[in-house]
Amino acid sequence: MNLAAATNESLANASNVLIYSSMAVYTLAFFAHIAEWVFGSRSKVGRTAAALSAPRADAGAGASATATKTQAGGTAVLERPKVVTRSATGTRDVPDGPGAAGGTFKGDLWGRIAVSLTTVAFLVEASGVATRALSVERAPWANMYEFSITFSTVAVGSYLVLLALKKNVRWIGLPLVTTVLLDLGIAVTTLYTDSDQLVPALHSYWLWIHVSTAILCGAVFYLGAVGTILYLFRDSYENKVASGGTPGKFASSVMERLPSAASLDTFSYRINAAVFPLWTFTIIAGAIWAGDAWGRYWGWDPKEVWSFITWVAYAAYLHARATAGWKGRKAAYLALIAFACWLFNYYGVNIFVSGLHSYAGV
């Protein structure tokens, strides 16, 4: 074994150690996020529940800022409660919940610890991805193992960027870390592939462009999917409270701390709408690369077909958002179907379907 090969093998081993180390830190972050939810106070949660269940002073008044009523020949002006967010259907104005920490110092402390641990795990995992790239002397996403570890790194990085921009997204922390641990667990146990060189078809600068944008799109689509799922739960909760129902203690404890259904719906829409043009570019870049590698831009390969199906599904979702009768839950279901198409395009096509994109194995 020459010196270069020995060096590459050492780097590959170092990459594996870093990925396993990041999993250990993510596990600590997972428990810290759990602690944030457990120790969060119910005080602000109680006020949120009261705001959800209180009758609106301007019920039936439409968009007017005030409502009036006659009292003993005079007119008393009832001030409209402050509007925090508006639901997709325009039927409810409810405040956002206080977050997993519940507005208390103890809960917030655990939340900050969780975010700090997530940041450390992200840096360790990113180092593992970079080390993997050095060991193979190419882009570190030529097979499913490399794609998976890079995908989870980008997903966590996107979350941390949103936090750095002061966005109210700390509620994503627990589902994100949980999913990342599952993703890395599958990657190191089932999808692991030894460092190897590329097949001729992948020797192109388009590998850096096409696959990197696909990873970024998938990571952001994932954040949008989390927001959509939580929107559906929170919307059901708000509907039950508004109709006079009494949710269970566990449901109340969780749902009342989340942003309102309107905020979650808006978050998911903005995330998906922002990344959709990049997904369009990803497909175009893949077609150009196919023209260079195989002499044709489009051949209805399974990967190409499902990339297009995913594009159509997200286009349908965005169109539904602009159509009055399809806003809210109907559009949310379309968003989840679109993300399911993306997941199948990655896992299902790569594992169960043979095609021109099957050259890299798992």
The three-class DSSP label of residue 141 is coil
Quote the CA–CA distance of 205 and 138 in Å, as a whole number: 10
Nearest Cα residue to 143 out of 132, 154, 159, 155: 132
CB hemisphere CA count around 194 (13 angstroms) = 4
Work out the angle at residue 176's Cα, subtended by the Cα atoms of residues 37 and 150, and round it to the nearest 5 degrees: 155
Task: Kindly list the distances between the CA atom of residue 354 and the CA atoms of 49, 165, 345, 359, in Å, as whole numbers in the listed order.
Answer: 52, 42, 12, 9
Partnered with residue 75 across adjacent β-strands are 70
Q: What is the reported pLDDT for 290?
A: 84
Quote the CA–CA distance of 313 and 342 in Å, as a whole number: 10
Q: What is the reported pLDDT for 57?
A: 41
Task: Kindly list the distances between the CA atom of residue 255 and the CA atoms of 26, 276, 284, in Å, as whole numbers in the listed order.
Answer: 24, 29, 40
Q: Tokens in use for 15? A: 């990459």
Give backbone dihedrals phi and psi of 139, rounded to 5 degrees, phi first.
-65, 135
List of residues 6+ apart from 68 with CB closer than 8 A: 75, 76, 77, 78
Quote the CA–CA distance of 22 and 128 in Å, as a whole number: 8
Residue 106: CB atoms within 10 Å: 15
Q: What is the reported pLDDT for 88?
A: 47
Helix %, strand %, coil % of the chain (to 5): 70, 5, 25
Quote the CA–CA distance of 50 and 3 in Å, as a whole number: 69
Partnered with residue 71 across adjacent β-strands are 74
For residues 219 and 151, the answer to whether their CB atoms sit within 8 Å is yes
Q: What is the reported pLDDT for 131?
A: 93
Q: Tokens 């490399």: give the residue.
A: 146
Could you tell me how many residues make up the chain? Answer: 362
For residues 346 and 147, the answer to whether their CB atoms sit within 8 Å is yes
Answer whether 0.85 is exceeded by the pTM: no
Q: What is the reported pLDDT for 78?
A: 40
List of residues 6+ apart from 226 with CB closer than 8 A: 172, 175, 176, 179
**What are the pLDDT tens digits along the chain (362 aa)?**
577 777 778 888 899 999 999 999 999 999 999 999 998 865 555 455 445 555 444 444 444 333 333 344 444 444 444 434 444 444 567 888 888 888 888 899 999 999 999 999 999 999 999 999 988 888 888 888 999 999 999 999 999 999 999 988 999 999 999 999 999 999 999 888 887 666 666 777 888 889 899 999 999 999 999 999 999 999 999 988 888 888 888 888 888 899 999 999 999 999 999 999 999 999 999 999 888 877 888 888 888 899 999 999 999 999 988 876 777 898 999 999 999 999 998 888 888 776 555 544 55
Q: What is the reported pLDDT for 41?
A: 65
Q: What is the reported pLDDT for 98?
A: 87
